[in-house]
Structure 1
Amino acid sequence: MTKVIMDCDPGIDDAIALTVLLAHPEAADLIGVTTIGGNVQLYKVTKNAQKLLTFLGSNTKIAMGQSDPLVKEIETAGEIHGKTGMDGYQFPENSLEYPIVSDNAITFMNEEITNSDEKVNIVATGPLTNVALLLKTFPKVAEKIEHIYVMGGSIEQGNITLASEFNAYVDPEAAKIVFDSGLPITLSGLNLTENKAYLTMDEISQIKNLGKTGEMASAILDFYASAEREKGMTKIPVHDACAVLSLVAPELFTKSEKFNIEVSLTNDQFRGMTYPDRRVYAPDDKNIEVLEDVNREKFVQYIFDSIQSHNK
């Protein structure tokens, strides 16, 4: 059984990703959820993790992580995800009774990974601050990490600036530490998530017919889509689901290429830009598999089936 820790900043697309992950215990044993300030502030994303795990009937451990990036003050995306970070649905009132087992995600991850009888995978769908601190504080833990599945960066366009994707922009110093770690990484960047792995408004509407979990997912996606449409988007990306799906259903992804990736640490519009080494003489030890295409029909159906399975 593949053991997984999900490091996230829920976030509406994080919520969909976590819903998909929990639908597949046969493919992934979720041994912990760690939170990171990102889409909204840390206390809000932690509450959102509590809400979602309560709603889905999970007993997965939650540990609270870093509130701020390594160097600069945090920038959030409440205009996309709402004031709570997961607007659009009224979650159970008892959600905040869900226990937080630790307020130090770094030591939590180290203990869970070190004490595991097999290597552990990390799915990271927010800024990479927690993961970077884990690798720097406990360098030996890398020996017990099997793979890191990241939503972040891009080898083409940005979204927070013309060059930078949000997660990488919020903490590029952390992204550089993780990308330079030498660990095997699968990267779902904007080149995939915005251009290929999206839902249409009609598909979002159909989700509400998939039982109680579908009603929840459709409601939060409706809110998310309204913000995206205000920016002129007609195809609604479900960014973070790609990181989960690259773990549990890698067959959905039809094209990828391995690179070494540099991260810009400048303090201008290029801060957080992730750029692959495409030189003919680039080093051979490429550790980052960049996903470039997906079978969108199967991608959508997998999300639908995952959501519906929670109602059985």
Structure 2
Amino acid sequence: MIPRPLIIDCDPGVDDAIALLLALASPAEFDLLGVTTVAGNVPLSLTTANARRICHLAQRADVPVYAGCPRPLLRSLTTAEDIHGATGLQGAALPEPALPLPAQHAVAFLIEQFTTASAPITLATLGPLTNLAVALIQCPKIAQGIDRVVIMGGSLGGGNVTPAAEFNIYVDPHAAKVVVEAGLPLTMIGLDVTHQVVTTPERLTALENLGTPVGKAAAGMLRYYGQLDVERYGLAAPPLHDPCVVAYLLRPDLFTGRPMHLAIETEGSLCLGRTVANAYPTAAAPANATVIETVDAEGFYTLLTERLGKL
């Protein structure tokens, strides 16, 4: 099997960190060309340092990390330290990143990769869509070099930062609108799916029992992460959002979804950032995304634990 060329755009964040570890543990499936960071869960300086820490933890010095946009297109930045902790990786004491930080901006890296690639590249987005939107605005022809974009963001129902909006889309709804309207092959994995993937005590123990630095770090982060969501939504355990994107690319058979017309609300004050998905597309509003609806949570955690055990 030829590894899939992949770029991960993220804002680590605990769940981003777990997603990165899952990708870094899968070299047979992914040719990970680079990781780009954006402000989101915590400010850009922290998301960039955290991505580098995770690559160092996984002993993947071959994967470069590029710092991207420090704020949304039009709005001031909203962060989520209440979920991820002040550093973004609460629960894990990771060393300072040893990898050098390239001078190239993440947007320039995306444009370069998508315009020069010999084969189309998959982009996994785990945070606000600012970097991709800016790249599309600067160089629309990058769409020709994109195989698909798999987004963790949005919701078919309610949100998690407002009653209407999921965090990644809410932070930069104008960027999300640019991406959704760019004619790209899109897959959306929203809260309806990720709230099915909860870190039960048994699943947490399985990660801890790996007995490796990666297993201990992952368990430590997940022990802290998501408790607010448990209380807010009455879930059995904390949900795990971003790794669903990487798991979908590894094992699409664990997920089900269907084509829908996707739009982003950028005008209303009450529904700013809402993802409006129409499961019954029309000629006037044709399907422009595959929206995932279900996941085999047990299969997901089996995959996650098995792969992290390889690091």
Fold agreement, TM-score > 0.5? yes
Q: CA deviation at 1:277?
A: 2.5
Work out whether residues 128 and 168 of structure 2, in 8 Å CA contact, stay in contact via their aligned partners in 1: yes
1:136-184 deviation per Cα after TM superposition (whole angstroms, max 9, x unaligned): 1111111011100100001112110111000000000000111111111
Q: CA deviation at 1:105?
A: 0.7
Match of 1:62 in 2: 65
Match of 2:40 in 1: 38
1:239-287 deviation per Cα after TM superposition (whole angstroms, max 9, x unaligned): 001111111211111x211112111112522000001134563547422
Q: Residue 17 of structure 2: which of 9, 15, 18 is its match?
A: 15
For 1:244 and 1:278, locate their aligned partners in 2 and report how far apart those are by CA, in whole Å. 24
Work out whether residues 201 and 236 of structure 1, in 8 Å CA contact, stay in contact via their aligned partners in 2: no
Local SS of the residue matching 1:97: coil
Matches within 5 A, 1:123-142: 123-142=124-143
For 2:115 and 2:263, locate their aligned partners in 1 and report how far apart those are by CA, in whole Å. 29
TM-score w.r.t. length of structure 1: 0.94
Match of 2:270 in 1: 269
Q: CA deviation at 1:28?
A: 1.0
Match of 1:199 in 2: 199
Matches within 5 A, 1:98-177: 98-177=99-178
For 1:182 and 1:283, locate their aligned partners in 2 and report how far apart those are by CA, in whole Å. 15
Local SS of the residue matching 2:242: helix
Local SS of the residue matching 1:260: strand
Match of 1:306 in 2: 307
Local SS of the residue matching 1:45: helix
| Stretch of structure 1 that moved more, 73-82 or 203-212 | 203-212
Q: CA deviation at 1:27?
A: 1.0
Match of 1:85 in 2: 88
Q: CA RMSD in A?
A: 1.5
Change (3 A) 1:226 1:23: same
Matches within 5 A, 1:283-302: 283=284, 285-302=286-303
Q: CA deviation at 1:104?
A: 1.2
Local SS of the residue matching 2:309: helix
Work out whether residues 260 and 280 of structure 2, in 8 Å CA contact, stay in contact via their aligned partners in 1: no
Work out whether residues 198 and 238 of structure 1, in 8 Å CA contact, stay in contact via their aligned partners in 2: yes
Q: Which runs of 5+ in 2 are unaligned?
A: none
For 1:283 and 1:17, locate their aligned partners in 2 and report how far apart those are by CA, in whole Å. 36
Work out whether residues 281 and 287 of structure 2, in 8 Å CA contact, stay in contact via their aligned partners in 1: no
Q: Percent identity?
A: 36
Q: 1:32 is aligned with what amino acid?
A: G
Work out whether residues 164 and 272 of structure 1, in 8 Å CA contact, stay in contact via their aligned partners in 2: yes
Number of positions where the alignment pairs a residue of Structure 1 with one of Structure 2: 306
Match of 2:50 in 1: 48
Q: 2:29 is aligned with what amino acid?
A: A
Work out whether residues 186 and 246 of structure 1, in 8 Å CA contact, stay in contact via their aligned partners in 2: no
Change (3 A) 1:283 1:243: farther
Q: 2:246 is aligned with what amino acid?
A: V
Q: CA deviation at 1:116?
A: 1.9
For 2:161 and 2:4, locate their aligned partners in 1 and report how far apart those are by CA, in whole Å. 33
Work out whether residues 31 and 61 of structure 1, in 8 Å CA contact, stay in contact via their aligned partners in 2: yes
For 2:287 and 2:280, locate their aligned partners in 1 and report how far apart those are by CA, in whole Å. 12
